[in-house]
Chains A and B, each alone.
Chain A
């Protein structure tokens, strides 16, 4: 699904598609939580509940040839981008059929076919990488945009400043998408940043920047269209702060001692799926049958993915030391 104009086209089919994508992510994350408690998924698991509108609003605006760099909270981004759900889940099981061959797990999803460059467990670690990808496109005269997703916690890291500066200085086609969900693990934005209006930081580097309501998928999509068009037209990078909220804990093993239940519930009342669905129902763009159909399709796809992952195979231990260096072919 690609977009070529700036105007958000809100046809019924497009609206239902946006809703489905968000529901798909939400149900998938829910299933991951369940599987994690059953020890099918191990290590760390970071879920996207509440932030779906950002990935769903931005990613479909990109072309297939554009590039995406994401964080450890990247399941939603991977799914919307087109990484098959079954390979994403198999990856989390650690099975060979996973998108990274089972070697990465939840935090390290990579997919060459969809130009999906991970999956990074170092906060801020993906920013220099996205600068480099954009640099290669610029030097090779390729009209690609590199979208880099990161949380507001990353803006404290030196690498954020280095990367944003380099992108602005060298006029690189990077779309920096900051998913500001107000907490960097357990540390609230208010106690970690002197300037909490994040878009202003980018503006300091003379980069075009705006903030948008990250709980409103239409607003996010519109902003993304503007941003991507600007990048393609001017060749300059763009900074998009999406103001959102994380409904679940940072990871599965988090007692959330750092925030009030009341605050979470307040945000839950305006979470993106609920909001969009209500609006669509009110606008008569969504029938109960549509919703039933969406939930059924999503449930079937998830069940299928679970079977696929369960049936997946383990990479033989004898192959442990592969993929450290390139393998010589014959």
Chain B
């Protein structure tokens, strides 16, 4: 059944002008087909002998159906067209819809309440529950300035307690620690450091100072680590995208306990270059701000190496987990008086266990040992810190 028009889908055979055995040549009218436009004569494009009629009079068949077989010199040819050639490329798909709107965490609106798109977006951005907003637009629709007003209200009401969400923070820490353990091949080294030089020096140093200006051991520990980190860059920097980038500065992340549980380790910037007094002041200030919940995001992200000291909690040794994307964490246990061998004799000395947890992709035990022992050496000469 030939195609005679773009809108022709089928035709009804109403007359055969040939029968089996008849000779035909190209251009001969061989049949009559009824279409929506009327009866149309159809011609054959083959020359040969009719072998067999395939479709009966009265049959309605789709375009492309063989109607008869004609034997030509080349072989059997159908009167009807061969199957259509390769289809043209598929039609252009409808353009993809734009990105779906950001799902609001608390975007549910009370039955009957309405909110403008801009207002909805602003509320989401600030994490405000739409149910708590009164709308002043037509039909009580919540408008932009209604959300802005609510934001101002909330700010005014906000308590001086930590501005960050504790639960969210612990969740984040948990996730970070899990990932660190999963991704970083930690290795651990421990070293005992004799602290009498530090203690003596501190006692003398603090004797003439009022309490608020006194130095604590922690400052000495941080400074020693900072100076050592300067000398051993493999422990000071970030591991990203499969490679380590040593940091040009030394920002020590100091682990500080949060009330209610959890640790946060904001940075003391350029700790290697600060004087001990400045360092101490910064540490004090950090602790205050952590308690007030006023830590900046950059302070959490900036540390190039972390120092964690849980000494007063009463354990000998602390094995840390590295804070991604850093590559090392130095831990200090409590300072305790323990037997110490010196010059062949056993003496009682203040000893602290220092540990290093480091990223084995970046450094190995040999380098780690040098780093740790360097810290120990520095702490033997506190006056040079």
Interface of A toward B, CB cutoff 8 Å: 30, 33-34, 36-40, 42-44, 94, 249, 251-257, 310, 314, 316-317, 320
A317 / chain B contacts, CB cutoff of 8 Å: 89-92
Q: Give the residues in chain A near B27, CB-CB below 8 Å.
A: 30
8 more A-B contacts (CB under 8 A) besides A249-B40, A317-B91?
Answer: A34-B45, A37-B42, A38-B2, A39-B63, A39-B81, A39-B85, A253-B8, A254-B40
Closest chain-A Cβ to B79's Cβ sits at a distance in Å of 10
Q: Is there an interface contact between B81 and A255, defined as CB atoms closer than 8 Å?
A: no
Does the CB pair A37–B89 fall under 8 Å? no
Q: Are B35 and A253 in contact (CB under 8 A)?
A: yes
- Number of residue pairs across A and B with beta carbons under 8 Å? 61
* Chain A min CB distance to B315 (Å): 66
Interchain CB contact under 8 A, B88 and A314: yes
Provide the main secondary structure of the chain B interface. Answer: loop
Which one, A37, A40, A43, contacts B85 given CB within 8 A? Answer: A40
- Which B residue sits closest to A315, measured CB to CB? B89
State whether B81 touches A37 (Cβ < 8 A).
yes
Nearest B-chain residue to A44, judged by Cβ: B6
Q: Which size class do B's interface residues fall under?
A: 20 to 34
A37 touches B4 (CB 8 A): yes
Q: Which residues B99-141 have CB closer than 8 A to chain A? A: none
- Chain B residues with CB below 8 A from A43, complex form: 6
CB neighbours of B63 from chain A (8 A): 39
Find the B residue at minimum CB distance from A93.
B85
Task: Check A39 against B5 for contact (C-beta < 8 Å).
Answer: no
> Which residues of B have CB within 8 Å of A320?
92
B242 beta carbon closer than 8 Å to chain A: no
Q: Which residues of B in the span 320-372 have a Cβ within 8 Å of any Cβ on A?
A: none
Contact B2 A253 (CB under 8 A): no
Q: Pick the contact of B3: A38, A44, A94 (CB < 8 A).
A: A38
18 contacts between A and B (CB under 8 A): A36-B2, A36-B3, A37-B42, A37-B81, A38-B2, A38-B3, A38-B81, A38-B85, A39-B63, A39-B85, A249-B40, A251-B5, A255-B35, A255-B37, A256-B40, A317-B90, A317-B91, A317-B92
Contacts A316-B89, A317-B89: A253 and B84 contacting too (C-beta < 8 A)? no
CB–CB B88/A254 < 8 A: no
Give chain B interface residues in 261-302, CB to chain A under 8 Å: none
B7 — which chain A residues lie within 8 A by C-beta?
Answer: 253
Cβ–Cβ contact A314 & B84, under 8 A = no
Asked whether A252 lies within 8 Å of B88 as measured between CB atoms, the reply is: no
How many Å from the CB of B65 to the closest CB on chain A? 12
List of A residues within 8 angstroms of B35 by Cβ: 253, 255
Residue B75 at the chain A interface, CB threshold 8 Å: no
A contact patch SS = loop
Contacts of A36 in B (CB 8 A): 2-4
Known: A253-B35, A255-B35, A257-B38. A37 touches B88 (CB 8 A): no
Nearest-neighbour CB distance to chain B for A319, whole angstroms, equals: 10
Complex CA–CA separation, A249 to B37 (angstroms):
12
CB distance from B374 to the nearest CB of A (A): 61
**In the complex, residue of chain A having the shortest beta-carbon distance to the beta carbon of B81:** A38
What CA separation (Å) do A44 and B43 show in the bound complex?
18
Known: A39-B64, A39-B84. A255 touches B6 (CB 8 A): no
**B59 on the interface (CB 8 Å rule)?**
no
- B57 lies within 8 A of chain A by Cβ: no
Closest to A41 in B: B3
Contact A253 B89, beta carbon cutoff 8 Å:
no
Q: Which residues of A contact B8 (CB under 8 A)?
A: 253
Residue of B nearest to A34 (CB): B45
Q: How far is the CB of B109 from chain A (nearest CB, A)?
A: 40
Contact A255 B92 (CB under 8 A): no
Q: Which residues of A contact B88 (CB under 8 A)?
A: 94, 314
Q: How many Å lie between the Cα of A34 and that of B39 in the bound state? A: 19
- Which residues in A have their C-beta under 8 angstroms from that of B64? 39
Q: Does B82 contact A (CB under 8 A)?
A: yes
CB contacts (< 8 Å) of B85 on chain A: these are 38-40, 310
**Shortest distance from the beta carbon of B76 to any chain A beta carbon, whole Å:** 17
Q: Shortest CB–CB separation between residue B163 and chain A, in angstroms? A: 51
Q: Which residues on the A side are within 8 Å of B45 (C-beta)?
A: 34, 37
The answer for the CA separation of A39 and B90 in the assembled complex, in Å, is 17
The smallest beta-carbon distance between A306 and chain B, in angstroms, is 11
**Cβ–Cβ < 8 Å partners of A33 in chain B:** 43
- Nearest CB in chain B: distance from A40 CB, A: 6
Q: From B64, which residue of chain A is reached at the shortest CB distance?
A: A39
CB distance from A97 to the nearest CB of B (A): 14
